[in-house]
Structure 1
């Protein structure tokens, strides 16, 4: 411990504290001048963004705020991370406050850690990855046996689409650091699964998805709701765009054209374009190389049967099928929920306002990659998904105590609510545009 320093509970040393107020913290809330509070300590993260593994944007989303629960939820390696935080230390907050709700959630977080609910069952993820590989082998064997026929093309694509959808849930596990204790090994497997099996960039996924978790459904902070040129979501954006006469789509019909340009095109078109733009802009040649290995494998396996263009269309048809699965599942828990500008809600309230669950069951769990436990996953993003069901009663109890709605729907009801929500937002736009 350095001279004049003090030791924290885990033994790491911080400089002798000086005290700042939360009003001081709130004043540093912009890019290039960003402070945030974690566990009562204030850090200047103005120049740390370029070094932060999650990127600068996710840090700036919490500038001027209490980021304690977000930081705790994203990091299982807190002692290691604190070593890097010492140089960013500004002072201790002298007037920090903790609401009853925050205290209850933080007590629940401690229970999660103490109960071993962040520990993985290795066999679960081995079996899951194994069944993806078996489906790809099955598709190859079927195509090789049947030859270049319409039946082999369609059946092969269907099997490959199932494998790709499940690989999407698998890479999600590694991306959230919820499989291995070692972050390095999680990163390696994430690169392998999302790159070699899914043909996408690991860093691109991290850039998008961590922002989504940090501020779900928050305009200008969650890239998943930044779709206004095609769809207007929530209550605020439709009216705002109508009054400003922005946009070019017939948004009053968006609940209908959703079926034409939403699920069918998200993976085959939008994500390919965005993924490639990200990789070339960042010059991320490692991720590009991993993507190339995917296509080399596909052309090597299926090229002798279908030829070059045949493999291309097999790939695009597989993505077309997978895209419907992926889009409905990932959007069912968010589009019908609160979508608005950041109002600095506490972590628990924010996640409950912007996410909802779908009923559990063997099929629903497998079909959604356990994203039917979306509330618990957003509250504890590093928790292995096989443990999410174990924490449901405690989360429900906090909701009941603090009178916070806990929404759980049927799978069909969750899908239908996407369309209902798009219809409602389209009507808001049309009425505001007509009145204007």
Structure 2
């Protein structure tokens, strides 16, 4: 039997059509010929088959919710929802039929309702409002260290100790600027998206030498579907370099795939992971990305960083010394970045997209690190990764305020809320790689 045709509503027209969840689930853009891409927001059904390529947040991030309810991610990612809805009207093709539940049948209705109530509480308490002084001081301390690094070489000379101290300061600048650009990229600072985008280009482009469009393309996908293989770019290294997660590692072994000796991945992680990601991969790929996608404004901001760096340090160090300093700074930044960003995710559940509710999706993929002044500064408040994932536009200085509410909700629904000491979180990266490598080897040899 064929699928029943959507029925027109009382008002008639395409926007009056009624759909079932079964019909929505079939419109994922896959198949031969490819199916349309539909998604649901607040019971309204939208056809994004053509729009997804023009989506400001990226084609993939919205496509990851094709065939699904996107209500909670829509709420989480957008600042001016009323404005966005005006542009969505042209995509509206109907709504769920009256006999259809507001939530997908596979999802926990009570959990979804409780999270949406929590979101309302967060907004009422003003936890999405930024403290501008906090971000101004953070930017100031980055610029201060940047100036201090140059003054160190100018005053003390280019001998080993001043050289290393300068590199340490510049590595810290890069790491802290990375956390700051993250704030602007998530629209966490200004109430208008436009101003966040402008300052984001300055921080990531001029202070770090990377394109804002590249960060947006990758990072929003990660937040939309964290630790979901084929949807989260951060875990798409599987299986080229690492076997990640219990499910995927066993699957890889059963298929007899061996791109790397995964049973040793907890050892070679120290070689091709923290020290190599930024200087050996990101460093060239960001230029390829900007040129290939014709992001000329981003490329101009990037070049301003490299021009400034060259004219600041080549008179003090010469070309060889300049290159040595640059690579050392990238090495420091890379180690800092990888350990901090992966301590919250690699030890957690990694699998294919199972279309879970927003709250469960984020809690199974993220964990926290204990709060302290140092941990907050060192990680750019990403020690509150759970709260950040649940409320990506929340200013980071408010994470600790919402954390008790999130813990309470986890306790109510029997969901584990993981919070670890900093070095335990680091060690768990290695332990989880070791465990998944052993699972792969066992499946590879015996199944």
SS at match of 1:29: coil
Query: Once the 2 structures are TM-superposed, how far is the Cα of residue 155 of structure 1 from its aligned partner?
Result: 1.0
1:261 maps to what in 2?
272
Q: Secondary structure at the match of 2:240?
A: coil
Equivalent position of 1:308 in the other structure: 319
d(CA) in 2 for partners of 1:71, 1:380: 11
Please provide the CA RMSD for this pair: 1.6
* Worse overlay, 308-317 or 298-307: 308-317
C-alpha distance in 2, partners of 1:246/1:149? 50
Superposed displacement of residue 16, structure 1? 6.0
Q: Distance in 2 between matches of 1:21 and 1:401?
A: 31
1:96 aligns with 2:107: no
Aligned to 2:244: 233
The answer on 1:144 being equivalent to 2:154 is: yes
Alignment of 1:188-337 (within 5 A): 188-227=198-237, 228-337=239-348
Q: What is the number of residues matched between the two proteins?
A: 426
| 1:133-180 alpha-carbon deviations (Å, 9 max, x no partner) | 000000000011122212222111001111110000000000000000
Secondary structure of residue in 2 paired with 1:180: coil
CA displacement 1:324-351 (0-9 Å, x = unmatched): 1110000000000000001110000010
Displacement of 1:310: 1.6
CA distance in 1, matches of 2:341, 2:86: 35
Aligned counterpart in structure 2 of residue 121 of structure 1, from 131, 135, 154 = 131
Aligned to 1:84: 87
- The residue aligned with 1:28 is 27
Contact map agreement 2:43 2:102 (CA 8 A) in 1:
no
Mapped contact 2:15–2:93 kept (Cα < 8 A): no
1:53 partnered with 2:45: no
Distance 1:173 1:419 in 2: 28
| Counterpart Cα distance in 1 of 2:10 and 2:88 | 15
Give the deviation of 1:15 after TM superposition. Answer: 8.0
Deviation string, structure 1 residues 341-389 (Cα, Å, up to 9, x no partner) = 0111000001000000111111111111000110000000000000111
- Residue 116 of structure 1: CA displacement? 1.2
- How far the C-alpha of 1:431 sits from its partner, in A, is 1.2
Of 111, 117, 127, 2:121 maps to 111
Contact preservation (8 Å) 1:5, 1:15: no
Unaligned runs of 5+ in 1: 7-13
Question: Is 1:432–2:443 an aligned residue pair?
Answer: yes
Question: Following TM superposition, where does structure 1 have runs of at least 4 consecutive aligned residues deviating by more than 4 angstroms?
Answer: none
Partner of 1:40: 43
Q: 2:360 aligns with which of 322, 345, 349?
A: 349
